[in-house]
Amino acid sequence: MPRKIAAGNWKMNGTSSDLVELDKLAAAHADPSVVMLICPPATLIERADRICAAAGIAVGGQDCHAAASGAHTGDTSAQMLWDAGAAYVILGHSERRADHGETDADVSAKIAAAQAVGLTAILCVGESLAQRDAGQALAVVGAQLRGSLPDGVAADRLIVAYEPVWAIGTGKVPTLEQIGEVHGFLRASLADLVAEGAADVPLLYGGSVKAANAADIFGVADVDGALVGGASLTAADFSPIVTALQNA
Ligand code: PGA
């Protein structure tokens, strides 16, 4: 059985004054059956980890460079994230694909770099609304999955997040049937693509998850947790989502 994971993606939000939200999460987190993960901006990873480590809350990055080091002004390597206290890194988020032109090949190289230093990679895949309306949702996420997994990917350091682009930050959520269809497809596809351990790769749903819809989403087969943006920014919004996952 894959582990349940509640992951928060703070995106480009958060300065030191927001660390108080982690203090609140740390005070409440006690259930080891759920991995609680917060991915703050890189500037806060080290301080976030100091707060989270003792409470058993994991910390992750939101991107890394594929190279180990070198002349890449402004970028952050996988080793740097690890060194700062991160154990996870989100890779191939649709905002990185859109804002920075990241391709599946780029994402594949980043996953290899992340796993090489011990990070667990959270690969994001998801179709646009136009692609869904054209009946291409499965074809698109299937191609992203195939193209983004490096040769020899380690299943035990891999998480896949299904994040339909049209559901991110919009308040729109696919139907439970649509989520179940894509997650079932991802589970079957992983079995073809990953040599060993495909059944244990956690599959997260992401896109406008909030307290009001979390329990229903966690009831869908092959949904092992969520990648949460807006509703992860405060403990008041994120805690009920974690609780819903504990109860699922
Ligand atoms: P959202 O973002 O929860 O704000 O829709 C999810 C994500 O982009 O990971």
Domain encompassing residue 9: 4-247
pLDDT (0 to 100) of residue 1: 61
pLDDT (0 to 100) of residue 28: 80
pLDDT (0 to 100) of residue 29: 74
Containing 34, the helix (H) or strand (E) segment is strand 34-39
The helix, strand and coil proportions of the chain, stated in percent and rounded to the nearest 5, come to: 50, 15, 35
CA-nearest residue, atom 6 of ligand 1: 229
Pair 204, 162: CB distance under 8 Å: yes
SS3 6: strand
Q: Tell me, what CATH number does 236's domain have?
A: 3.20.20.70
137-148 vs 176-193: helix axis angle to the nearest 10?
A: 30
Annotated active-site residue 21? The verdict is no
Q: How many residues does the chain have?
A: 248
Q: Which atom of ligand 1 is nearest to the CA of 207?
A: 5
Q: Digits of tens for pLDDT over the chain (248 positions)?
A: 668 999 999 999 999 999 999 999 998 877 888 999 999 999 999 999 999 998 999 999 999 999 999 999 999 999 999 999 999 999 999 999 999 999 999 999 999 999 999 999 999 999 999 999 999 999 999 999 999 999 999 999 999 999 999 999 999 999 999 999 999 999 999 999 998 999 999 999 999 999 999 999 999 999 999 999 999 999 999 999 999 999 99
Residue with tokens 């905002």: 95
Q: Find residue 206's DSSP bridge partners.
A: 227
pLDDT (0 to 100) of residue 41: 98
How far away, in angstroms, is 25 Cα from ligand 1 center?
19
Number of independent structural domains in the chain:
1
Q: Exactly one of 93, 95, 102, 127 is catalytic; which is it? A: 93
Annotated active-site residue 93? The verdict is yes
